[in-house]
């Protein structure tokens, strides 16, 4: 039965109560829903004659976080003098952060606000404070234990190559059968391929973004899975795509983490702690192409102005330099012909360098001839073929599909072995292990059947081999022409001397040629 408390003048106190409740997870929501908490608190207030002046409930908020809207509004009621009693189901509803909970209780005491935790049998007017520290410490330990178990489960999934992001990266979609598996999104993957191709051709981030926008192509934000923030392409979005290894089939996770289960601040982790799983899903971009783009990115730092203009990049821009002063040669039109002239001379005149220049068509012929000669004399036919195939990414003449299937089979077997070890170590239970095992074995059987069918049909590979001699001579004779794609893969730097001489530095062996 409720005791009639009085103030110093003997006047009976009227308790103006505020009901407060909280749930944080779906599991907790099922057992301790807001509705159940509110009904219990209402019943307790009615039975004890308390007037309910306010009610605040936080849904989906962790007990370690005290920056909750319900707590804020509760404090506002207290500071306005509208309530002098708080009813909660138990102390864990207030919080699971020991220090913050004790500070909040101290705040209530200083404001002469009574607290009753029904299930804990705790009342600040009748109980000693000695037991509070133990109760709040226990609540914090419970939260820490739950956080540790959830973190371990997530880490295990990441190491198994499961994607745990809220949204699939642009170019992919989440599998309907396995929600943590990425599948190629045909429409968006074509856009990703175009972005890589355009960058290799010499276009910059801003120019590529402008081209995509002009074509009416939806950007990641407006494509339907990323939350609409902007409907425009920008240089930052393009750069993120070009530098994301996910497009090679590589899954990089655990790059960021909360400082602790009590602190929601996100910190960036060192690369040594990242979880990297190769061949976790189907690639959109080959590893060679991705590596080439990263090399170009490194080379192009500080050289972005010419790539953001209205026209396409000039053929030799960022490749041709003055041998005397080291500055880049500027492109300009002269007698209706493209001309490259020393940049320092163009800006500062004869005091900086000499007025030497070279026409684009002339330089193109020199590069073509030097490239043919270098390939013929530097390497034998067999070595040259291997080098050219690697540099020009002739993957369509190789059986990459079979290699990819082999990698996926090996990865599935590795995951199966990891799951077995986790079962032995007690990290996962028998049921979860059997589910993993059935899934991996089914996938391995599917991939091996697919591989067997491909090996029985060698028509494509044989046809490819028959075409290789023609391809060799096409490259040797440069029938495909000199373009930026070829330059990015084969040419490192071109230097023009004031005597008209041309020095070409190639990317392959024996590359310095006068």
What is the tens place of the pLDDT at every residue in 45-58?
999 989 999 999 98
The arithmetic mean of pLDDT across residues 412-441, rounded, is: 82
Q: Mean pLDDT across the chain, nearest whole number?
A: 77
Residue 1 has pLDDT above 70, yes or no: no
Q: What is the pLDDT of residue 398?
A: 47
User: Lowest-pLDDT range, 9-13, 98-102, 330-334, 427-431?
Assistant: 9-13
CATH number of 16-144: 3.40.50.1390
The arithmetic mean of pLDDT across residues 487-492, rounded, is: 80
Q: Which residue has the higher pLDDT, 481 or 172?
A: 172
Residue 37 has pLDDT above 70, yes or no: yes
Please tell us whether the domain made up of 160-313 is placed in CATH 3.90.1750.20. yes
Q: What is the pLDDT of residue 240?
A: 92
The DSSP element (H or E) to which 39 belongs, if any, is helix 34-47
The arithmetic mean of pLDDT across residues 137-161, rounded, is: 65
User: Lowest-pLDDT range, 6-10, 11-15, 137-141, 425-429?
Assistant: 6-10
DSSP category for residue 246: G
Residue 155 has pLDDT above 90, yes or no: no
User: In whole angstroms, what is the distance from residue 451 CA to residue 405 CA?
Assistant: 7
Q: Which residue has the higher pLDDT, 187 or 224?
A: 187
DSSP category for residue 406: H
Q: Which residues contact 291 (CB under 8 A, 6 or more apart)?
A: none
Q: What is the pLDDT of residue 143?
A: 57
Q: What is the pLDDT of residue 498?
A: 85
User: In whole angstroms, what is the distance from residue 340 CA to residue 320 CA?
Assistant: 8
Among 150, 182, 177, 189, CA closest to 163: 182
User: In whole angstroms, what is the distance from residue 210 CA to residue 202 CA?
Assistant: 14
Measured in Å, how far apart are the chain's first and last C-alpha atoms? 102
Q: What is the pLDDT of residue 19?
A: 94
CA distances from 32 to 21, 59, 75, 169 (A): 10, 11, 24, 36
The arithmetic mean of pLDDT across residues 349-361, rounded, is: 86
How much of the chain, in percent, has pLDDT values that exceed 70?
Answer: 73
Q: What is the pLDDT of residue 461?
A: 42
CA distances from 416 to 250, 409, 439 (A): 19, 11, 9
Per-residue pLDDT tens over the stretch 226-270: 555 677 898 889 999 999 999 998 888 887 776 654 556 777 788
Residue 471 has pLDDT above 80, yes or no: no
Residue 464 has pLDDT above 50, yes or no: no
The arithmetic mean of pLDDT across residues 267-288, rounded, is: 86
How much of the chain, in percent, has pLDDT values that exceed 90?
Answer: 11
Most confident of 61-65, 119-123, 212-216, 309-313: 212-216
Q: Which residue has the higher pLDDT, 269 or 115?
A: 115
The arithmetic mean of pLDDT across residues 486-510, rounded, is: 80
Q: What is the pLDDT of residue 76?
A: 92
Residue 314 has pLDDT above 90, yes or no: no
Q: What is the pLDDT of residue 56?
A: 92
Among 511, 254, 199, 200, CA closest to 373: 511
Q: 339 near 360, Cβ under 8 Å?
A: yes
Q: What is the pLDDT of residue 10?
A: 47
Q: 305 near 319, Cβ under 8 Å?
A: no
């Amino acid at each position: 039965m409720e005791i009639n408390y009085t103030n110093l003048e003997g006047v009976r106190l009227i308790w103006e109560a505020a009901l407060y409740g909280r749930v944080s997870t779906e599991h907790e929501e099922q057992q301790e829903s807001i509705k159940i908490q509110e009904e219990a608190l209402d019943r307790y207030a009615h039975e004890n004659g308390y007037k309910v002046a306010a009610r605040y409930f936080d849904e989906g908020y962790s007990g370690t976080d005290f920056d909750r809207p319900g707590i804020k509004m509760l404090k506002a009621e207290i500071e306005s003098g509208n309530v002098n009693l708080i009813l909660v189901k138990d102390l864990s509803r207030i919080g699971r952060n020991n220090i913050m909970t004790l500070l909040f209780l101290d705040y209530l005491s200083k404001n002469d606000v009574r607290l009753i935790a029904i299930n804990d049998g705790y009342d600040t007017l009748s109980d000693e404070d000695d037991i509070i520290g133990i109760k709040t410490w226990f609540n914090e330990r419970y939260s820490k234990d739950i956080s540790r178990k959830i973190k371990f489960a997530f880490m295990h999934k990441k190491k198994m190559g499961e994607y745990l992001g809220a949204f699939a990266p642009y170019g992919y979609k989440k599998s309907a059968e396995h929600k943590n598996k990425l599948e190629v999104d045909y429409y968006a993957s074509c856009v990703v391929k175009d972005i890589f191709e355009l960058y290799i051709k010499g276009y910059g981030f801003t120019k590529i973004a402008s081209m995509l926008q002009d074509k009416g192509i939806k950007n990641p934000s407006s494509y339907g899975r990323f939350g609409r923030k902007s409907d425009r392409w920008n240089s930052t979005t393009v750069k993120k795509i070009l530098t994301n290894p996910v497009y090679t089939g590589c899954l990089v996770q655990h790059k960021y983490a909360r400082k602790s289960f009590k602190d929601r601040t996100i910190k960036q982790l060192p690369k040594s702690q990242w979880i990297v799983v190769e061949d976790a899903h189907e690639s959109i971009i080959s590893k060679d192409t991705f590596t080439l783009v990263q090399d170009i990115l490194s080379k192009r730092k500080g050289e972005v102005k010419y790539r953001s203009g209205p026209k396409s990049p000039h053929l030799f821009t960022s490749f041709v330099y003055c041998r005397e002063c080291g500055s880049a040669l500027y492109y300009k039109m002269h007698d209706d012909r493209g001309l490259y002239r020393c940049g320092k001379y163009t800006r500062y005149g004869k005091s900086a360098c000499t007025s030497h220049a070279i026409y684009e068509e002339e330089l193109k012929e020199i590069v073509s001839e030097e490239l043919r000669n270098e390939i013929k004399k530097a390497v034998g036919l067999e070595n040259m073929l291997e080098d050219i195939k690697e540099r020009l990414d002739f993957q369509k003449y190789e059986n990459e599909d079979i290699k990819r299937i082999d990698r996926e089979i090996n990865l599935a077997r590795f995951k199966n072995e990891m799951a077995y070890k986790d079962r032995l170590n007690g990290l996962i239970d028998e049921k979860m292990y059997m589910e993993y095992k059935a899934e991996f074995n089914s996938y391995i059987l599917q991939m091996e059947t697919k591989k067997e069918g491909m090996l029985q049909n060698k028509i494509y590979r044989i046809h490819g081999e028959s075409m290789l001699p023609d391809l060799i001579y096409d490259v040797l004779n440069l029938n495909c022409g000199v373009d930026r794609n070829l330059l990015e893969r084969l040419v490192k730097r071109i230097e023009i001397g004031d005597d008209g001489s041309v020095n070409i530095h190639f990317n392959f062996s024996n590359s310095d040629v006068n």
